[in-house]
């Protein structure tokens, strides 16, 4: 009889392609994990992995078996969660993924409310880029993800909870005075600093500003919004910031100005993404409502 532990061990090896690392992930010894995989392969009558001292490869049969094993593990995880459906909402554990251009600005606004109203709720946060989170939701590795739309989430469903526009941020010495709106045609694209490739905010910004990505090798790129703001303070250029992040990035900073980008919006939509038939959908909807309410309360009068 194939055991759940064997499935977990096999999926850990698939993810790490390394027996020692997989054993560490599963909190077992390498010998224990190796013995379980050997027994699993014996029971199945096929070899899942080719291994030597240098590398681990997945066999053709292994790819198909592991694909089905993921489905089994996801279903078993959701069976375990069924017991929580009749208990108090948000009283168990949940793992939530979030992208870097949302997490630092959303979580401080919503977590205090969640901790106050649901003290028994154990929320684990994982920060990754959008494509990684989508795959982890699909694989059942995390319960849900917070993403910025539009983004390809084929096979998943989403619950929108926030729509926002972007703001052009520039040094006060390099921005027009007494202006509350700016068109993208007025911006100097040569000194507009954006995040590096891989961040969906860059793609959304280019779309909102109707710009082409022509600066792939530019030094005017940052790894985080905070880094871009520091570059603006140094008068290296200007940048685009979503409304949600303005208060934390600018704070009481008097050297910078944020001016609303007067282009058709909303410039991005923030959503919670889950698998179809996820058994705790009602709790995700509750989180969505909390997020929406707290953002409305705390994202007012953001223009500086």
Q: What is the CATH number of the domain that holds 190?
A: 3.40.190.10
Average pLDDT over residues 165-186: 91
Question: Tens digits of per-residue pLDDT, 222-248?
Answer: 778 999 999 999 999 999 999 999 999
CATH number (domain holding residue 71) = 1.10.10.10
Average pLDDT over residues 92-113: 94
User: Structure pTM?
Assistant: 0.75
**Which residue, among 218, 57, 199, has the nearest Cα to 129 in the 3D structure?**
199
Q: Residue 116: inside a domain, yes or no? A: yes
- Residues 176 and 189 occupy one common structural domain: yes
- Residues 125 and 46 occupy one common structural domain: no
- Residues 138 and 59 occupy one common structural domain: no
Question: Tens digits of per-residue pLDDT, 120-143?
Answer: 899 999 999 999 999 999 988 899
Contact 272, 287 (CB under 8 A): yes
Q: Residue 304: inside a domain, yes or no? A: no
Instruction: Verify cis geometry, omega within 30 degrees of 0, for the bond prior to 108.
Output: no
Q: Residue 87: inside a domain, yes or no? A: no
- Residues 130 and 69 occupy one common structural domain: no
Pick the last residue of a domain from 82, 115, 139. 82
Q: Residue 69: inside a domain, yes or no? A: yes
Residue range(s) defining the domain that contains residue 185: 166-261
pLDDT value at 84 more than 60: no
| Between 153 and 4, the higher pLDDT residue | 153
Q: Residue 88: inside a domain, yes or no? A: no
Contact 90, 115 (CB under 8 A): no
Tokens 């989430």 found at: 153
The Cα–Cα gap between 200 and 270 comes to 12
The band of 304, judged by pLDDT with boundaries at 50, 70 and 90, is: very low
pLDDT value at 288 more than 90: yes
- Residues 186 and 248 occupy one common structural domain: yes
- Residues 151 and 9 occupy one common structural domain: no
pLDDT value at 87 more than 70: no
3-state secondary structure 234-281: CCCCEEEEEHHHHHHHHCCCCCEEEEEECCCCCCEEEEEEECCCCCCH
Which residues are bridge partners to 148 per DSSP? 270
The band of 278, judged by pLDDT with boundaries at 50, 70 and 90, is: confident
Task: Write down the pLDDT at residue 39.
Answer: 92
Pick the last residue of a domain from 82, 113, 138. 82
- Residues 36 and 150 occupy one common structural domain: no
Strand order in the sheet with 256-261: 181-182, 256-261, 166-171, 238-242, 192-195, 221-222
Share of the chain above pLDDT 70, in %: 91
The Cα–Cα gap between 94 and 118 comes to 13
Task: Write down the pLDDT at residue 211.
Answer: 79
């Amino acid at each position: 009889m194939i055991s759940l532990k064997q499935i977990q061990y096999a999926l850990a090896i698939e993810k790490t392609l390394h027996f020692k690392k997989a054993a560490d992930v599963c909190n077992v010894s390498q010998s224990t994990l190796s013995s379980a995989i050997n027994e699993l392969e014996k029971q199945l009558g096929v070899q899942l992995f080719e291994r030597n001292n240098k590398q681990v490869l997945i066999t053709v049969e292994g790819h198909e078996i592991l694909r089905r094993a993921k489905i089994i593990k996801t279903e078993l995880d959701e069976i375990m969660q069924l017991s929580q459906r009749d208990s108090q909402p948000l009283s168990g554990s949940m793992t939530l993924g979030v992208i870097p251009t949302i997490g630092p600005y959303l979580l401080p606004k919503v977590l205090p409310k969640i901790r106050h109203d649901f003290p028994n709720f154990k929320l684990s946060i994982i920060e990754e880029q959008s494509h990684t989170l989508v795959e982890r939701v699909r694989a059942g590795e995390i319960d849900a993800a917070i993403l910025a739309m539009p983004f390809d989430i084929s096979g998943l469903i989403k619950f929108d909870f926030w729509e926002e526009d972007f703001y052009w941020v520039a040094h006060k010495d390099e921005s027009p005075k007494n202006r509350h709106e700016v068109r993208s045609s007025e911006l100097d694209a040569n000194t507009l600093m954006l995040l590096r490739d891989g961040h969906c905010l860059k793609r959304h910004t280019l779309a909102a500003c109707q710009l082409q990505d022509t600066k792939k090798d530019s030094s005017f790129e940052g790894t985080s919004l905070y880094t871009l703001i520091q570059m603006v303070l140094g008068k290296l250029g200007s940048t685009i910031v979503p409304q949600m992040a303005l208060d934390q990035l600018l704070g009481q900073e008097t050297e910078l100005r944020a001016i609303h980008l007067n282009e058709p919006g909303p410039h991005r939509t923030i959503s919670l993404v889950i698998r179809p038939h996820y058994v705790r959908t009602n709790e995700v909807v509750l989180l969505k409502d909390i997020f929406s309410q707290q953002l409305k309360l705390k994202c007012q009068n953001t223009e500086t």
